[in-house]
Structure 1
């Protein structure tokens, strides 16, 4: 299994992404005790911010090389091929998740599942709901991350040449983020609800990742040097964010009663349009991890770290499987949420995610092996042999 992990890349990226995928599975399982130790409980950023930013990093690194070698048009076509793959994966996940929840709601006489997960349109207007889902204008709960990824990746296909001028690319991205927040700009949806993740705002995290990941030929990658005062400021920001997270999610009544002037600011820290505090939190975490963890740290070659790296390297299938497994885990925990069921749900869920990552990594390795041309046959030597 460990031989399937590509260790010739920055394992910090893969490990963080693998941890984010595991956290998404845990956080999407109501009643899971492990949800209390995931980052969403002590930072203003969570696994989604990490997932989007690292997706941008991977895109800038991989497709930037293709663009520099074979031109923008070829690289953009590769990006749009990936967009199509993501779209197919989203539709497959939508069908599977809808069938899973609908069957459970019928068998367990729990129609509340449909309402809670915003799948009730399939009961009232199934044909219209399917059409709007295909157009990405209707997104049930838990099925809104891939549409965000699809849109920002399509935007990236057009903006790829700007990676050669990273500060201009970031300035334009910041401008779009500001306009999206200031003027409430978003993409249209079916029932008048805004996108849960507004792509016009969240693209900023993606393009920050692109700027960091791109390696210009003959030049240096974009980087922010370490400064002790900047590190201290990041830790201060994270500490303030932890306090605000506790107030928002665990002590809201206290915040409203005792901090009436500050409570409106806390209430305005939205996720849909990437509030500045969530953005700054993610940037602070990135700065500290990039400078605080060496690329060749020995612990990243240990088995637990490499398992997370394996999940991160097979992000798409692991993410899709995690969504389906999270609802199955929810059903199990609603039957019994004792420690034994908690242990089984989390161990089995993690084992299945790792098993799927192993399978997809093995299949990918086999495909790459088939593509390699066989070595040329050597002509037999002629002449006398003595």
Structure 2
């Protein structure tokens, strides 16, 4: 019954691979943001040099190129850019709402549980020391507490896309300029200003490259000629080698760091320099390798994409924004639960309830969208067929 309901809410005219991966990324974000969650050991961040954030940004770019590129071709750049900025405003409102909810949630928990360390750990202490200034800087996106830095990145790169959208018709020029900006941001340590002198956790001037790669892959010009990377066996082998090497480096970084420092003194500094803030080339390459393999090895019409297990993640992926916001709030609630009662039963409860809540949010928002945009039935005419209207 519930599976049939979800199937009725899913748009099957989309590329379900994209929605499935985005749904998995949203689930991984919830798990990874819940300290102490045992499921964190199976999420991709422990075995690849990229994680759910890279997938989220790349697929956000893909969706933007697909939807707004088509709008630009039909109705012009100004109209399409206005639609993009409308989406930017929606994301901004969602970010501020999430900021308020998350701050209240953490502050209340810190007071009730006498755990002031929560505020310091999650970089929410400015709300205690200087609340009015902190609120102002948060509204300007110059202050971003922990866990609340993905949406500001998304807002910024989407606003950049609104300006650069005409370049999508010349994708290689767009990607060349984007790559130049990424390189300059990394080499010269260029980022956007922040309140207390700390760099943005995700430097948008670097991460925009991954977003624009997604835009180029998603855009389909009216006359054909979209960006495509055909399958080559040697390229597939190269991607696999990169992923295996990345897995080995990830294990060294997160699980065997003492061994790396002691036994690999020349290699350890290189591993330590694989940063996330400015999108290290290996993190970028890992995400592109995964994308290449998934795009070519998973058929678009694969039957299992419509299976009972897959449709859960597909529906979550199609309702990404509310599911993401709910996941961030639920992750802290899950953390509190795991700290209050450790053990397997609580682990199961946190993950089952968390996933059920995320799916429930996806179902409600999808249902609301269908009800909102479904064509209304015309009211029956009180006049008999052929009768002239009353002209008063």
Query: How far did residue 375 of structure 1 move?
Result: 9.2
For 2:380 and 2:263, the matched residues in 1 are separated by 78
SS of match in other structure, 1:238? helix
SS of match in other structure, 1:24? helix
For 1:304 and 1:293, the matched residues in 2 are separated by 16
Per-residue CA deviation, residues 247-276 of structure 1 (Å, 9 max, x unaligned), is: 000100100111111111000000000000
Query: How far did residue 79 of structure 1 move?
Result: 0.2
Query: How far did residue 303 of structure 1 move?
Result: 1.2
Taking the TM superposition and a 5 Å limit, the aligned residue runs for 1:107-186 are 107-186=112-191
Per-residue CA deviation, residues 162-191 of structure 1 (Å, 9 max, x unaligned), is: 000000000000000000000000000000
- Residue equivalent to 2:250: 245
Query: How far did residue 25 of structure 1 move?
Result: 0.2
Taking the TM superposition and a 5 Å limit, the aligned residue runs for 1:277-292 are 277-292=282-297
Per-residue CA deviation, residues 350-382 of structure 1 (Å, 9 max, x unaligned), is: 000000100000000011114x57499798379
- Residue equivalent to 2:372: 367
- Residue equivalent to 2:390: none
Query: How far did residue 337 of structure 1 move?
Result: 2.2
For 2:257 and 2:215, the matched residues in 1 are separated by 36
- Structure 1 stretches of 4+ moved >2 Å: 372-382
- Residue equivalent to 1:81: 86
Normalising by structure 1, what TM-score?
0.97
Select the residue among 304, 319, 329 that pairs with 2:309.
Answer: 304
Evaluate the alpha carbon distance shift between residue 74 and residue 373 of structure 1 in structure 2; reply closer, same or farther with a 3 A threshold. farther
Evaluate the alpha carbon distance shift between residue 228 and residue 125 of structure 1 in structure 2; reply closer, same or farther with a 3 A threshold. same
Select the residue among 3, 25, 37 that pairs with 2:8.
Answer: 3
For 2:342 and 2:251, the matched residues in 1 are separated by 24
**Structure 2: tracts of 5 or more residues without a match:** 388-392
Select the residue among 333, 341, 346 that pairs with 1:336.
Answer: 341
For 1:76 and 1:138, the matched residues in 2 are separated by 27
Select the residue among 93, 98, 102 that pairs with 1:93.
Answer: 98
Task: Say whether 1:350 aligns with 2:355.
Answer: yes
For 2:80 and 2:50, the matched residues in 1 are separated by 31
For 2:384 and 2:255, the matched residues in 1 are separated by 76
What's the RMSD between the two structures over aligned residues?
1.4
Q: How many residue pairs were aligned? A: 381
SS of match in other structure, 2:48? coil
Per-residue CA deviation, residues 1-57 of structure 1 (Å, 9 max, x unaligned), is: 220010111000000000000000000000000000000000000000000000000
Normalising by structure 2, what TM-score?
0.95
